[in-house]
């Protein structure tokens, strides 16, 4: 176990945010240099604690008494910022640790990102720091900032002109530039920031530490996270759970979405699961909203900060209002495409709208015409009717360029101020462009303003998802023993299915035979029709070599199929070890699923389910989640499939036994956790889901040992 594993996420991070004294090692009198920037910024923004510039030359640096060594400071600084060459960093870290510094920010680059020598040196930095209980941020990072106390531990140019106002948005980023860009943009949108941290190489302090620290910070209400990867799955999960329990929304921009953390595996399951999908699953489980672009991160972060967790939409219903029928149609198109619904308004609501604006079209979208902005009382009456409608939908009002007109701006601001006062719990968003001060006034009312219809639609869909995610129960982590399965499970499907059957998963009766006579006898005992399949650990994909014969209805067909299968094996896989031929009943009716387990290099066993055949392999219509999953979570996985209607009785077909399918997926996930000691992948394909009440049957299964699994990374 590493030193990092022994620390709870967020432990010891107050040194980076609440330190009462700071040393800058490698301090410079030149504010354009990396060693000069932190000194300048601490002075510029009025940090009230002690500042100790450290430079071998001593003297005075930017008007402050400088010290030739950290050992010469009047008292041990609580935080140290290191801006020294790579070759001098280890000694500087050692000096800080010995002096009793509680946290060190290493700005210097050239460590793990530079090669093996840098990796070794970086590990030594951590060893020295942890030996004295000092947390280390970086190296190769952009540092940390606590806005309220003006504690600036960075050289970022994002602070060149001003420090963001103190507020409730916390930011943690593995990339310093992306994180500081996010901070600057949040400030430019008029939102205050609580804390900022860039973790860089994450030799010690990692992304999980940052999230956990923000989750525990009373000044932080929303967490924005820019993530490239995860090095410690359990720590990340713990941190996300802390934020969830603290009721602090987390929005993550996860970059590197096209990278596959695992190669295409020997099983279909492994080939269908990439690590990015697993990150999505983890985020979904812990109530995290994933942004897919920087603009989306800003829009969602801005809106969530204005609304707070208590005003997130409870449904995907929206009522759209515009002064133009054309704009209303555009809004409807974008909203529906984003997954929103447009409920019809009550007749009483329509009557009240017509009282306020006689020329209005009262369907949803509401075509309010230009008359809605004639006077504040007219607009207020219409908005009140809409906010009181029984649909309780989110009101989306398009103003186009009206905010640029002083008269219209006054009309809207008066009406919006009054409607917010009379309906403080209701959610309203605007789509408009206008002067920054006008947008800021509307934002100050707790009303998000989006510059375009597509941006508003994407943000609304995200806010709905965020609200729904935080109402979903979390599956408990696996707490049982991790065992090794009997090596026989890797030999062929018979033994794999036998192990699954013993675990409670439904598998039809079957037997392995080694002659035509035995095959016929077993077929008679089973009852026609039957299926024959080659049983060999060297032939994972039997169909590809002609190793399967289906729907055999007579003794002659069984004999011919047995001979044909053995001949095909001899031709296509002459060196394969053959255990015999498997004989089973020919299952018919129902819907085919594919279900399986793969080993993610970060999160461990991951369970997958999808519709079988072309739906899974061509359409990639699958759902994944880190194992184990509960039956309720497995049911949600099934319901998330695009082809779920096939299970739910589409076009008059009988409903499939979805409850049994969910139970099977949950059992499979538990099996994967229990036997994670040597089972790398499991492929159940197909799983036949029979009509409602009739259960499921696993018709084929493959298990691949961890030693041969390519999905382990």
Q: Cα–Cα distance between 192 and 23 in angstroms, integer? A: 27
Pairing of strands 530-535, 580-585: antiparallel
- pLDDT score, position 614: 65
- pLDDT score, position 710: 57
Q: Cα–Cα distance between 241 and 84 in angstroms, integer? A: 37
- pLDDT score, position 347: 96
Average pLDDT over residues 156-175: 95
pLDDT digits (tens, 9 = 90+) for 77-119: 999 999 999 999 999 999 999 999 999 999 999 998 888 998 9
130 SS3 class: helix
Please give the structure tokens belonging to residue 674: 């229990």
Average pLDDT over residues 197-204: 96
> Quick check: bond before 539 cis, omega within 30?
no
Average pLDDT over residues 310-339: 94
Helix (H) or strand (E) holding 223: strand 222-227
**Is residue 298 scored above 60 in pLDDT?**
yes
List the single range of 79-83, 313-317, 478-482, 612-616 with lowest mean pLDDT. 612-616
Helix (H) or strand (E) holding 501: helix 493-502
- pLDDT score, position 338: 96
Number of Cα atoms under 13 Å in the Cβ half of residue 277:
22
pLDDT digits (tens, 9 = 90+) for 209-249: 999 999 999 999 999 999 988 889 999 999 999 999 999 99
- pLDDT score, position 85: 95
- pLDDT score, position 259: 47
- pLDDT score, position 258: 58
pLDDT digits (tens, 9 = 90+) for 373-400: 889 999 999 999 999 999 999 999 999 8
Q: Cα–Cα distance between 662 and 74 in angstroms, integer? A: 65
**Is residue 43 scored above 70 in pLDDT?**
yes
- pLDDT score, position 231: 85
For residue 613, how far is the Cα from the chain centroid? Answer: 28
Residues contacting 277, CB < 8 A, separation 6+: 624
- pLDDT score, position 267: 41
- pLDDT score, position 5: 56
Q: Phi and psi of 385, rounded to 5°?
A: -60, -40
Q: Cα–Cα distance between 385 and 238 in angstroms, integer? A: 45
**Is residue 270 scored above 70 in pLDDT?**
no
In 3D space, the residue among 208, 222, 292, 200 whose CA is nearest the CA of residue 254 turns out to be 292
Q: Are 532 and 541 in contact (CB under 8 A)?
A: no
Q: Could you tell me the pTM of the whole model?
A: 0.89
Average pLDDT over residues 343-351: 97
pLDDT digits (tens, 9 = 90+) for 519-535: 999 999 999 999 999 99
Average pLDDT over residues 408-429: 95
- pLDDT score, position 225: 98
**Is residue 156 scored above 70 in pLDDT?**
yes
The pLDDT confidence band at residue 590, using thresholds 50, 70 and 90, is very high
- pLDDT score, position 618: 77
pLDDT digits (tens, 9 = 90+) for 631-653: 999 999 999 999 999 999 887 88
Q: Cα–Cα distance between 306 and 134 in angstroms, integer? A: 37
Average pLDDT over residues 172-186: 95
pLDDT digits (tens, 9 = 90+) for 527-568: 999 999 999 999 988 999 999 999 999 999 999 999 999 999
- pLDDT score, position 651: 79
Domains annotated on the chain, with CATH: 10-141 (3.40.50.720), 312-469 (3.40.50.261), 509-585 (3.30.1490.20), 591-712 (3.30.470.20)
């Amino acid at each position: 176990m590493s030193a990092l594993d022994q620390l709870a996420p967020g432990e010891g991070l107050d040194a980076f945010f609440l330190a009462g004294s700071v040393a800058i090692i490698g301090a410079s009198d030149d504010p354009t240099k990396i060693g000069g920037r932190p000194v300048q910024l601490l002075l510029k923004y009025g940090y009230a604690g002690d500042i100790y510039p450290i430079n071998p030359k001593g003297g005075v640096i930017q008007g402050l008494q400088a010290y030739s060594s950290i050992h010469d400071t009047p008292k041990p600084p609580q935080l140290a910022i290191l801006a020294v060459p790579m070759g001098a960093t280890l000694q500087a870290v050692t000096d800080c640790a010995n002096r009793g510094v509680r946290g060190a920010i290493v700005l210097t680059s050239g460590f793990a990102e530079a090669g093996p020598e840098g990796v070794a040196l970086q590990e030594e930095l951590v060893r020295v720091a942890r030996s004295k209980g000092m947390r280390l941020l970086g190296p190769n990072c952009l540092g940390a900032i606590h806005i309220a106390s003006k504690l600036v531990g960075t050289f970022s140019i994002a602070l060149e002109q001003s420090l963001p106002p103190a507020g409730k948005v916390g930011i943690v980023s593995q990339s310093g530039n992306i994180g500081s860009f996010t901070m600057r943009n949040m400030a430019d949108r008029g939102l205050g920031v609580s804390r900022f941290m860039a973790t860089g190489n994450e030799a010690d302090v990692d992304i999980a530490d940052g999230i956990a620290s923000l989750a525990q910070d009373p000044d932080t209400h929303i967490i924005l996270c820019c993530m490239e990867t995860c090095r410690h799955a359990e720590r990340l999960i713990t941190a996300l759970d802390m934020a969830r329990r603290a009721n602090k929304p987390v929005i993550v921009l996860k970059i590197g979405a096209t990278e596959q953390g695992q190669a295409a595996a020997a099983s279909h399951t492994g080939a269908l699961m990439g690590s990015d999908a697993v990150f999505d699953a983890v985020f979904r489980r812990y109530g995290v909203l994933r942004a897919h672009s920087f603009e989306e991160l800003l829009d969602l972060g801005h809106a969530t900060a204005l609304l707070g967790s208590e005003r997130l939409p409870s449904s995907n219903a929206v009522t759209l209002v515009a002064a133009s029928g054309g704009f209303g149609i555009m809004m409807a198109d974008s909203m529906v495409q984003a997954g929103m619904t447009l409920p019809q308004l009550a007749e009483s609501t329509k009557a009240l709208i017509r009282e306020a604006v006689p020329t209005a079209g009262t369907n949803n979208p509401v075509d309010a015409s230009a008359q809605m902005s004639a006077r504040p009382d007219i607009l207020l009456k219409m908005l009140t009717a809409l906010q009181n409608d029984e649909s309780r939908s989110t009101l989306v009002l398009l103003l186009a360029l009206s905010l640029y007109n002083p008269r219209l701006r006054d009309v809207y601001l008066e009406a919006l101020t009054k409607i917010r006062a009379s309906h403080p719990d209701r959610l309203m968003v605007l789509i408009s462009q206008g002067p920054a001060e006008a947008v800021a006034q509307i934002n100050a009312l707790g009303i998000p303003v989006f510059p375009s219809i597509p941006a508003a639609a994407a943000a609304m869909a995200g806010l709905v998802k965020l609200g729904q995610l935080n109402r979903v129960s979390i599956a408990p982590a696996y707490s049982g023993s991790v065992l090794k399965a009997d090596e026989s499970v890797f030999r062929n499907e018979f033994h794999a299915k036998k192990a699954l059957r013993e675990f409670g998963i439904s598998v039809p009766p079957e037997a392995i035979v080694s002659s035509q006579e035995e095959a016929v006898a077993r077929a008679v005992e089973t009852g026609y029709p039957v299926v024959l399949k080659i049983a060999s650990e060297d032939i994972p994909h039997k169909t590809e070599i002609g190793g399967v014969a289906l729907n055999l209805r007579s003794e002659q067909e069984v004999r011919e199929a047995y001979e044909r299968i053995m001949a095909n094996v001899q031709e296509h896989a002459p060196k394969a070890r053959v255990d015999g031929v498997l004989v089973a009943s020919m299952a018919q009716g129902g819907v085919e699923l594919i279900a399986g387990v793969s080993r993610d290099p970060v999160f461990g066993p991951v369970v997958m389910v999808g519709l079988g055949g072309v739906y899974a392999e061509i359409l990639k219509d699958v759902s994944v989640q880190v194992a184990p999953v509960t039956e309720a979570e497995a049911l949600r996985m099934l319901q998330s499939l695009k082809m779920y209607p096939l299970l739910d009785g589409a076009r008059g077909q009988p409903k499939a036994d979805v409850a049994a399918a969910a139970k099977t997926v949950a059992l499979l996930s538990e099996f994967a956790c229990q036997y994670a000691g040597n089972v790398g992948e499991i492929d159940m394909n197909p799983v036949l889901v029979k009509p409602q009440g009739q259960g499921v049957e696993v018709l084929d299964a493959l298990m691949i040992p961890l030693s041969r699994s390519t999905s382990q990374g």
